Amino acid sequence: MLKKDLLELCLLQLLSQGDKYGYEVLTPLRSAFPDTQESAIYALLRGLGKENLTEWYMAPGGGGPDRKYYKLTSAGRARLEALRGDWRNMRDAIASFGVE
């Protein structure tokens, strides 16, 4: 699994917990991956939309203008499951070397 796949896994996992607007998605991921800029995460989010793994809708934001909310599609959930499987395999493989 590459770092991009890990980012994708975290992003999809985040969206699986509920619909979120852009800033809500980008900031926790940047905190978890400090050497990654938000523009790279946004590009990834956009790429997921193009692959129909996510979709978006506009909804009122807290008192301000409408915000763009992202949500997972069924294809996105399937992709999340596949990435979770990859992650478990990799974690077990690394653990077999004694890495904790």
Contact residues for another protein, defined by CB under 8 A: 21-23, 26-27, 30, 37-40, 42-43, 46, 64-65, 67-68
Give the residue carrying structure tokens 């807290």: 62
CB of 67 to another protein, least distance (A): 6
Residue 40 or 75: the one with the smaller Cβ distance to another protein is 40
Residues 6+ apart with CB under 8 A from 49: 55, 56, 70
Give least dist CB 40 to another protein, A: 6
Query: For residue 100, what are the CA distances in angstroms to 16, 48, 92?
Result: 27, 31, 10
**What is the chain's alpha carbon radius of gyration, rounded to the nearest angstrom?**
15
State the minimum distance, in angstroms, from the CB of residue 33 to another protein. 12
What's the closest the beta carbon of residue 93 comes to another protein, in angstroms? 31
Residue 57, C-beta contacts closer than 8 angstroms, at least 6 positions apart: 68, 69, 71
Q: Which of 39, 96 has the CB closer to another protein? A: 39
| Minimum CB distance to another protein smaller for 46 or for 91 | 46
